[in-house]
Every structure is written in C-alpha cells, then in structure tokens.
C-alpha cells in the first residue's frame, strides 16, 4: 500500500519537474571567418553581458554553436522553437531565423554574408540586436540576448508607386523671369534733354526777331485755339488713362464745335488778308 502511494508521488514529482523545467544555454560560442578561411574573431558568449559588437564584411561568415539543456537534469533537449531574432531597434525591422537543433540539444548556425538567408531583415548602418528565443510545449519559454551585429547595408526594396504620396513631397518653387533692367535714369535724362534742345534754339531765335501776334486773343480766333488745345489735352488724357472707345467718343463730341470754330477762324484770317490788302 505505502510503496504504491510513494510510486504515485514520484510520478507526480517527475511531472512537476518536467513542467517547471526551464532551458539553459550551454557553451555558446561564435566564430567569424573571412572568405579566405582565416579566423578573424572567436569567443565564448557570456549570458550576463554582451560582448563587443560583431562586425561582418560582405564576404565573412559567422558561425554560432551552443547546446540547449534542461535545468534540472542537465541533458540536452530539442525544444519546439529555437529562433534567432535579428532586430534593428532604430528602423524597427526584424528577422527571425530558425536554428536546427539535434535531438541531443546541440545547435549550429552559420551566417554567410555572401549568401544571406531570406530571413535577414533589411539593414542600414545601425547594428542588429541578436537574441535567441526558445519555446517549448513542455518547458518554460526563455529568451537570451546574445550580441550586437553590424552587417553590410542592404538594398532598399522597390516602393509601391503611390508610396510617395503618403509623405510630404518636396516643395517646388517657380523661377520667374528676372525683372526688366532699365538703363540708368541719368542717361535717359541726358537724351531727353538732347531731344528738347531744338526748343532752346527756337526760343533763342524768337527772342532775337520778336514774335508779333496781334490777333492772338481775337474773339474769332480764340475759340479754335482753345478747342485745339482741348484736343491736345484729350490726347494727353488718352495716353495716361482713357480707353480707345472713350477717346473716340470725346474726340467726336469735341470735333463738332471745332469744325465751326475752324471755319470761323479761317474766314477771319482770309478776310484780314484780303481786307487789309
């Protein structure tokens, strides 16, 4: 009776041990070899602190070996999930690579940068944090942080054609034609003075010979003179402000009295020429 109960108890104890069993990582070692099979770096990984970051050139190979054992009994086990996780904390990219483990718990992983696995995430010049994820249906799950790894940068994948529209696009500024360049005002003033110089000559000569205008303010002449002046003023106003239709209208209105005033003026002039004679 008693031995049977003891037997049951040992089974129970064993079951408890198996369920509460956690996994241990034994002898984790890494080796970096170059393409010429020269060993660049080799070391054992300590699980309490990370080593110096590992660097891989485009033709180097990283070999990682370890053994997974059970805590309680120390014998090797093959857990369901033995994954290496490569994580870029800056860009958030992650890659998961399963590692083949023998039934005795021994595992070997090789990363050849000349033929990288599809699971390696897109990389930049930031380091990848490498950790080991262990999971099992019968043991407790664990994660071990292994080391930081620098690998060569990868090509960026081809983006979707609409991808650019989901971000701020570069600003476009229009280059306008440059403002018209004018010659210096001083030069324009000199030439304007040149153009006006004949007036000086005319005024000078007139002052010499004297201008006799006896009929200037005669009531038969002055309307025409004034209307002619008004026409000149209309022309000046057209230059500054008016539109064609308006100037033609005003000119037409002004032309009617001008015709009569002109006839009167010419008749008067004719009379003076014949009358005086």
Partner 1 sequence: MRFFVLALVSFLALANNVFAKSSTGDSVLVVIDPSLKKEDYSKFFGGLEERGYQLTFRGPRDAHPPVEQYGIPGFSHVILFTPETKSYASDITPQSLVGLLSENTNLLVTLSTKQTPLSSLSTEFSLIPPPPGTPLISHHPARSEPATVIPIPVSESPLLTPGTSPVWFSGVPHAFGNSPYLVPILRATSESFAADSLDDSGADALVDASEKAGEGLWAGSHLGLVTGFQTLKNSRVVFAGGVEMFSDEYANKALPDGTPSGNEKFVKDITAWAFRETLALRIDNTTHHRAGEEVPPETYTTNDQIVYTAHISAYDPKTSSWKPYSGITDMQLEFTMLDPHIRIALPPVAGEPGKYQVQFRAPDRHGVFKFVVDWRRKGYPLLQTSTTVPVVPPRHDQYPRFLSAAWPYYAGAISTSVGFFLFSALWLAGDVEGKKKKGLKTE
Give residues 8-67 in contact with partner 1 (rule: CB under 8 A): none
> With CB under 8 A as the contact rule, which of the stretches 4-12, 53-61, 80-88, 246-254 interacts with partner 1?
80-88
CA distance 127 to 52: 12
State which of positions 171-190 bind partner 1 (CB under 8 A). 171-174, 176-177, 180, 182-183, 185, 188-189
- Minimum separation from the CB atom of position 60 to partner 1 (A): 21
Which secondary-structure segment (H or E) carries 140? none
C-alpha 44, offset from chain centre: 46
The pairs formed by 53-56 with CB atoms below 8 angstroms and a separation of 24 or more are 53/127, 53/147, 53/148, 53/149, 53/150, 54/30, 54/147, 54/148, 54/149, 54/150, 55/149, 55/150, 56/32, 56/111, 56/113, 56/149, 56/150, 56/151, 56/152
- Minimum separation from the CB atom of position 4 to partner 1 (A): 30
Residue corresponding to tokens 């043991």: 139
Smaller CB separation from partner 1, 51 or 117 = 117
Smaller CB separation from partner 1, 4 or 174 = 174
- Minimum separation from the CB atom of position 178 to partner 1 (A): 11
- Minimum separation from the CB atom of position 213 to partner 1 (A): 4
Tell me how many residues contact partner 1 (CB under 8 A): 81
State which of positions 93-132 bind partner 1 (CB under 8 A). 93-101, 117-119, 121
CA distance 263 to 255: 12
Smaller CB separation from partner 1, 51 or 262 = 262
Mention every residue, 6+ apart, whose C-beta is less than 8 A from residue 230.
Answer: 254
- Near partner 1 by CB under 8 A: residue from 4, 115, 208, 212: 212
Residue 140 interacts with partner 1 (CB under 8 A)?
yes
Smaller CB separation from partner 1, 74 or 183 = 183
Residue 135 contacts residue 81 (beta carbons within 8 Å): yes
Would you give the binding string for partner 1 spanning residues 258-277, x where CB under 8 A is met?
-------x---x--xx--xx
């Amino acid at each position: 009776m008693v031995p049977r109960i003891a037997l049951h108890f040992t089974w129970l104890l064993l079951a408890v041990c198996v369920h509460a069993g956690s996994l241990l990582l034994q002898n984790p070692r890494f080796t970096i070899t170059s393409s010429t099979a020269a060993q660049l770096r080799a070391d054992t990984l300590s699980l309490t602190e990370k080593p110096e970051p590992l660097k891989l050139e485009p033709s180097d190979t990283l070999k990682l070996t370890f053994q997974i054992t059970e805590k309680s009994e120390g014998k090797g086990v093959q857990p369901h999930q033995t994954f290496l996780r490569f994580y870029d904390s800056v860009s958030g990219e992650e890659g998961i690579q399963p590692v083949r483990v023998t039934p005795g718990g021994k595992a070997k992983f090789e990363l050849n940068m000349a033929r990288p696995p599809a699971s390696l995430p897109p990389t930049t010049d930031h380091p990848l944090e490498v950790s080991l994820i262990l999971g099992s249906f019968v043991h407790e799950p664990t994660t071990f942080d292994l080391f930081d790894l620098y690998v060569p940068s990868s090509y960026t994948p081809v983006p979707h054609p609409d991808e650019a529209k989901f971000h701020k696009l570069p600003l476009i500024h229009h280059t306008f034609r440059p403002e018209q360049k004018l010659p210096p005002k001083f030069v324009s003033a000199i030439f304007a003075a040149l153009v006006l110089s004949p007036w000086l000559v005319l005024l000078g000569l007139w002052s010499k010979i004297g201008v006799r205008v006896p009929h200037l303010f005669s009531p038969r002449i002055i309307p025409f003179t004034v209307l002619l002046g008004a026409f000149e003023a209309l022309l000046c106003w057209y230059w500054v402000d008016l539109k064609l239709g308006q100037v033609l209208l005003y000119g037409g209105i002004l032309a009617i009295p001008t015709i009569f005033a002109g006839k009167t003026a010419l008749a008067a002039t004719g009379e003076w020429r014949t009358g005086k004679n």
